Structures are given as structure tokens and as C-alpha cells.
């Protein structure tokens, strides 16, 4: 009786181990299939995200890891299948992240380029508007100058017509210059000179001396200066 109990106690662990191995193997197989399914889903998501176009080499590696995982699972190498499936998932995740980063950078560069082009276009538009305003101002100044010139020409023409219609004024009389000429004439006549009286009887003789007479004549001569 004691021997039977001892034998049973010895066989029990072995029986338990034998019964648990199939259950463990079945659980690992499920994990391998789950890892393969997860890797397959991530690879499909990477294709939708554009990894095949953006990073075809990483997409090819992810698919290669997935194929290795499936082959290992089919051969019963469940640990290898799980490891390969995990590599496929990691490669797909990295490819998706890098693709999104590149797209964001391109979008930012495009936005910056479009903004710069818009700013340059605005500057060109402002410069064109300024040139147009300057040209308009010049045209207005030219038109104003033309109007002033036309008015001046009209005034000159009217003055010429009026001058042609008005008879010429008579010539001014010549200026007169009066010149006064004074002529002095000297006339002489004899004046008797009385001799001195003496108290003796003498014979008187009258001596006549010439006396000068001045006659002044004023003559006015009028000359006309043309």
C-alpha cells in the first residue's frame, strides 16, 4: 500500500507535465498567429500611408519579415515566427513614422514656398500700383501743361487779332528845341568934350570922343527833332 502511494506520488508530476505541454504549445501557436496578424495589419496600413512609394525598401523588409514569420509558424517554429512577426511590425511602424515625417516636411516647405511666392506677388502688385499712380500723375501734369499752353496760345492769338484790327496810332509830333541866341551890337558916336575952364581968356576947342552904345538882340530859334 505504501509502495503504491509512493509510485503514484512519483508519477503524478510527470503526468502533470505531460498534460501541460500541449496546452503551452497551443498557446504559443496562438501568440504566433496573433503576432503575424498584427504585422500584416501594420504592413497594410503602411501601404495606405504611402510607404510603398515613399520608402519602398523598408516596405520590402517588413514584408520579408512577415513571410519569414508565416513560414516559421507553418514549420512549427513558433518562437521564430513570433520574433519575425514582431520585426515585421516594428519595420512597418518605423516606415509609417518616417513617411509621415517626410510628408509633413514637404508640406511645410510647400506652405513656406507658397507664402514666399504670395509675398513676392504682393510686392510686385504694390510696385505696379505705385508705377501706375506715378504714370497717372505724370499724365495729369502733362494734360494740365497742355491746357495752360492752349490758353496762352489763345490769349496770344486774340491779342494778335485785336492788334490787327486796331488802326495804328498817329506818329507823335517832333519835339521842339528852342535855342536863344543873343547878339550884341556896339555903336559908337562922338561926344563933345569940354575943356577945363580957366580964368584967362583962351580959345576953346571942342573935342568929340566916341561913345560906345551896346544893343542887345535876343533871337529864338526853334528846331524840330525827328
Q: Tens digit of pLDDT for each residue in 1-26?
A: 433 334 334 433 433 444 344 444 55
Grid cell 501706375 is found at 132
How far is it, in rounded angstroms, from Cα 113 to Cα 223? 101
Rg (C-alpha) for the chain, rounded Å, is 73
How far is it, in rounded angstroms, from Cα 122 to Cα 114? 12
Going by pLDDT thresholds of 50, 70 and 90, the confidence category of residue 162 is: confident
Going by pLDDT thresholds of 50, 70 and 90, the confidence category of residue 172 is: low
Q: Which residues pair with 219 in a beta bridge?
A: 181
How far is it, in rounded angstroms, from Cα 41 to Cα 206? 184
Q: What is the mean pLDDT of residues 140-166?
A: 87
- Residues near 225 by Cβ (< 8 Å), separated by ≥ 6? 174, 175, 176, 177
- End-to-end C-alpha distance for the chain, whole angstroms: 185
Would the pLDDT of 223 be above 70? no
Closest CA to 92 of 62, 134, 70: 62
Grid cell 498567429 is found at 33
Q: Where in the chain are the domains?
A: 14-169, 175-225
Grid cell 485785336 is found at 162
Half-sphere exposure of 150 (CA within 13 A, CB side): 6
pTM over 0.75: no
- Residues near 179 by Cβ (< 8 Å), separated by ≥ 6? 220, 221, 222, 223
**Of the listed ranges 2-6, 59-63, 125-129, the one predicted with least confidence:** 2-6
How far is it, in rounded angstroms, from Cα 106 to Cα 49? 15
Amino acid at each position: 500500500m505504501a509502495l503504491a502511494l509512493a509510485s503514484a506520488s512519483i508519477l503524478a508530476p510527470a503526468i502533470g507535465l505531460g498534460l501541460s505541454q500541449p496546452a503551452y504549445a497551443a498557446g504559443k501557436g496562438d501568440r504566433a498567429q496573433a503576432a503575424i496578424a498584427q504585422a500584416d495589419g501594420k504592413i497594410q496600413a503602411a501601404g495606405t500611408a504611402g510607404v510603398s512609394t515613399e520608402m519602398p525598401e523598408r516596405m520590402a523588409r517588413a514584408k520579408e519579415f512577415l513571410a519569414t514569420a508565416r513560414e516559421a509558424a507553418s514549420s512549427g517554429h513558433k518562437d521564430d515566427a513570433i520574433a519575425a512577426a514582431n520585426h515585421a511590425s516594428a519595420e512597418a511602424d518605423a516606415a509609417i513614422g518616417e513617411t509621415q515625417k517626410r510628408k509633413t516636411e514637404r508640406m511645410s516647405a510647400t506652405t513656406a514656398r507658397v507664402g514666399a511666392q504670395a509675398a513676392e506677388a504682393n510686392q510686385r502688385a504694390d510696385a505696379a500700383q505705385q508705377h501706375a499712380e506715378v504714370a497717372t500723375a505724370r499724365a495729369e501734369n502733362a494734360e494740365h501743361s497742355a491746357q495752360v499752353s492752349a490758353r496762352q496760345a489763345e490769349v496770344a492769338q486774340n491779342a494778335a487779332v485785336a492788334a490787327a484790327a486796331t488802326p495804328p496810332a498817329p506818329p507823335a509830333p517832333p519835339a521842339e528845341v528852342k535855342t536863344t541866341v543873343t547878339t550884341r551890337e556896339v555903336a559908337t558916336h562922338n561926344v563933345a568934350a569940354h575943356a577945363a575952364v580957366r580964368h584967362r581968356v583962351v580959345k576953346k576947342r571942342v573935342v568929340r570922343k566916341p561913345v560906345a552904345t551896346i544893343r542887345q538882340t535876343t533871337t529864338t530859334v526853334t528846331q524840330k527833332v525827328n
